[in-house]
Amino acid sequence: MKGTHRKTLLGTSVVALCVTIAIGTAVGCSPAPTPVAATGGDTAVEQDAEDGGRKTMEEWGELYPLQYGSYAVTDIKSDGQYHSHYDLKQKMLAPAERFLRDDGQYHTRLLSDGEVGYNDEGNITISGMWYDSKNKHWVVNEDVFGDLSGTRERMGCYSCKSSTFNDIYERDGAEIFGEKLTDEFVDEVNGQVWDCGTCHDGDPGTTSPDAQLPLWSQLSRDAFDSFDAKERVCGQCHNSLDYRSHITDQETMDSFNPYKYGVDIDSLHKAVVEDGVYSIDEDTGILLTCFDHPDLEFNQGSAMRELGVTCVDCHMATTADAESGKEFTSHNASGSPLENPAAIEYCLTCHKSQGINSADEMVKMVRDLQADTTDKLEALQVKMDQAYELIKAANQNGGVDETTLQQARDDYSIAYSYHYAVCGDVGDEPLGTKVVHNPTAAADYIAKTDQLLDGVIAALS
């Protein structure tokens, strides 16, 4: 795990209740791009004029049952928590708290009564909620929780989780990014989290996916067109930009330009420092950035990206319905391609040229790479902890001239950004999970981190 650091926050990272979509691609060269998939429904439809022309996910699900069925895949782990994307209104109302993670960033977790149990129907219960496995959502008695104003997320958390936020932002302005959830906001979003409008402009059966959310689209500025549409659609959420908690009005939002120097970590680090989107570690004076899931940026320059393989190609592979044989695009975007036979087959169209001829061999290759990278990142963490303690001692006890100390802080700061970017926000997964997005960049950032930390340790030992 990354080291535990106490921080004086200039602005905390806003990370939503929901688990973020795992995007990226597996290592290799590109076969023909995945075509726009068949709908899985009978006919294309026009959106209703009611409710501003917006259908609910359930209504779209009736029209496109195959896509909706894969979208609504449930992932309940041994702790009883619902770990998939598709949290409905009930989870927005659940009691939660902010906490400091081991990597020094803030996150949100549901308040648990400490017990994971089962009700009379055999459904999982936790924190006063029970999971309706038939309808695939948590059921919450809102009266149990009372006033949640002290624990709720900010509205800006849903700026990359619901297209309904777009309408609220257009009406109420950029100020809402920093305001806490209200009952009115929850009712207006109405459980439409990762809805079709997040990725499709209009009928999902006739429109190709692309970025639809204003936060990243505005912050990306002139770089928007440099990304492929099937990168943008995932990258509008899976990016390095930790700007939501710093937006106070439209003028502030318009002043930010995170890609002005480029999309490599050095360029991103320089931009966020200029924009003031960072925190200062209390004990050392180290400037820390939050590159929580820079999947979009990290993938740039990769072999797959250069050959035209996108996030959608691997994480939303075209598959066939077991019963009808009808082809459709899998919408279980948070699932691992290694657990999707259709995705593995797509990968093998290129990786067979490397002598990898089966799904088992493909999985082993990726897992070995991830394990090796995890070992390297854990070894680097030992050096990071050592360097941190040396900077802390020099900062608090003196004995080192300020020029040397500041250089050590600066070197640690960029090393922290490199390390953070390679690790990503992986939750309970191994630290090296995301190396498959760009093994070359991962190796480069790991080597740079190692060199910088060696320099800090040598200067302050």
Per-residue pLDDT tens digits for 171-185: 999 999 988 878 788
> Does the CA dihedral 287-157-133-148 come out positive or negative?
positive
For the chain, the C-alpha Rg in angstroms (whole number) is: 23
* Per-residue confidence (pLDDT) for residue 42, from 0 to 100: 40
Cβ contact 243:219 at 8 Å? yes
* Per-residue confidence (pLDDT) for residue 318, from 0 to 100: 93
Residue 446 lies in a domain: no
Residue 296 lies in a domain: yes
The CA distance from 136 to 110, in Å, is: 18
The CA distance from 91 to 47, in Å, is: 27
Residue 49's pLDDT band (cuts 50, 70, 90): very low
The CA distance from 151 to 217, in Å, is: 29
* Per-residue confidence (pLDDT) for residue 10, from 0 to 100: 30
Residue 410 lies in a domain: no
Residue 59 lies in a domain: yes
Residues 6+ apart with CB under 8 A from 52: 167
What DSSP letter does each residue of 118-149 carry, written as one string? E-TTS-EEETTEEEETTTTEEEE-HHHH---T
- Indicate whether 78 pLDDT > 90: no
Q: What totals of helices (H) and strands (E) does the chain contain, helices first?
A: 17, 11
For 262, 280, 418, the CA distances from 98, given in Å and listed in that order, are 32, 19, 25
Which structural domain, as residue segments, surrounds residue 268? 7-354
- Indicate whether 46 pLDDT > 50: no
pTM for the full predicted model? 0.79
Cβ contact 258:271 at 8 Å? yes
Residue 222 lies in a domain: yes
Residue 26 lies in a domain: yes
- Indicate whether 321 pLDDT > 80: yes
Lowest mean pLDDT among 94-103, 205-214, 259-268, 383-392: 94-103
Half-sphere exposure of 453 (CA within 13 A, CB side): 23
Cβ contact 328:66 at 8 Å? yes
Residue 226's pLDDT band (cuts 50, 70, 90): very high
Comparing CA positions, the residue from 253, 257, 212 lying closest to residue 234 is 212
Quick one: how far is CA 141 from the chain centroid?
A: 29
The CA distance from 193 to 3, in Å, is: 33
Average confidence (pLDDT) over 289-294: 85
Residue 422 lies in a domain: no
* Per-residue confidence (pLDDT) for residue 426, from 0 to 100: 59
CATH code at position 63: 1.10.1130
Task: Tell me whether strands 318-320 and 106-110 are parallel, antiparallel or unpaired.
Answer: unpaired
DSSP H or E run through 313: helix 311-315
* Per-residue confidence (pLDDT) for residue 7, from 0 to 100: 28
* Per-residue confidence (pLDDT) for residue 192, from 0 to 100: 82
* Per-residue confidence (pLDDT) for residue 301, from 0 to 100: 94
Task: Tell me whether strands 124-126 and 318-320 are parallel, antiparallel or unpaired.
Answer: unpaired
Residue 395 lies in a domain: no
Number of domains, the chain:
1
Q: Which residue has the tokens 């400490």?
A: 114
The CA distance from 384 to 310, in Å, is: 33
* Per-residue confidence (pLDDT) for residue 179, from 0 to 100: 87
Encoded tokens for 402? 């300020």
| Greater pLDDT, 411 or 20 | 411
Cβ contact 63:203 at 8 Å? no
DSSP H or E run through 169: helix 164-172
Cβ contact 208:36 at 8 Å? yes
**Average pLDDT of every residue of the chain:** 79
The CA distance from 248 to 98, in Å, is: 21
* Per-residue confidence (pLDDT) for residue 136, from 0 to 100: 61
Percent of the chain residues topping a pLDDT of 70: 71
Cβ contact 330:344 at 8 Å? no
